Amino acid sequence: MKPLNNKYSGDCKETCYEEIIKEHGNAIYAYIFSLVKHKELAEDIYQEVLISSYLSFSSFEDYSKAKSWLYKIAINKCRDYWRKEKTSKKFWEETVYTYVRDTSVSLPPEDTIMNKCAHEEMIDTLEELPPMYKEPLLLFYYHNNTLLEISDKTKTPLSTVKTRMKRAKEQLRPKVNKLVSI
């Protein structure tokens, strides 16, 4: 077929577009499917490619480049999808996780009271520890600091923080066992 000119209009332009799609449509769909590996998603993106190519067909000039033109539109649509997917994943990883973490399932009142009492007893038990053992445990378990953050805050070597936490747990173990057995 000969190159298209912008002077073609109306039915001739639509006929040429239909010929291009009949000739290259299956190859474009297969290309999209090979990229996204999901049938329904490939069909959706293929539809977007058809719409975009149809809307911009009036500015298309060279029939011999039709296949590469369609492939370029297809890869751009796939990239758009991946970009949107990446943003969506960030939403699910950050926003929804934060929402789920912030919303807690409400416990029955008696369980809430029991948990509060156990929490208070544990704090009282921690208070019995020497300050050098108590501080790393409080920072780690109640303030959600990492061992490195505790090391930085207390200006103590990391190995010392680990040792102090281990010793504090060893001192707490018999006291906590008494709490649990009550």
Hey, is 72 helix, strand or coil?
helix
| C-alpha 41, offset from chain centre | 19
Q: Which of 89, 76, 90, 88 is nearest to 35 (CA)?
A: 76
Note the pLDDT tens digit of each residue in 60-103.
Answer: 777 778 899 999 999 999 999 988 887 766 655 555 555 555 55
- How does residue 157 score in pLDDT terms, banded at 50, 70 and 90? very high
- As a whole number, the mean pLDDT across the chain is 81
At residue 2, the pLDDT reads: 43
- Rounded Cα gap, residues 52 and 25, in angstroms: 14
CB-neighbour burial class of residue 13 (10 A; exposed 0-12, middle 13-18, buried 19+): middle
- Rounded Cα gap, residues 165 and 150, in angstroms: 11
Q: Which residue do the tokens 């009036």 mark?
A: 58
| Topology given in CATH for the domain delimited by 109-181 | Arc Repressor Mutant, subunit A (1.10.10)
CATH of domain 11-101: 1.10.1740.10
Note the pLDDT tens digit of each residue in 164-181.
Answer: 989 988 888 887 777 666
Hey, is 116 helix, strand or coil?
helix
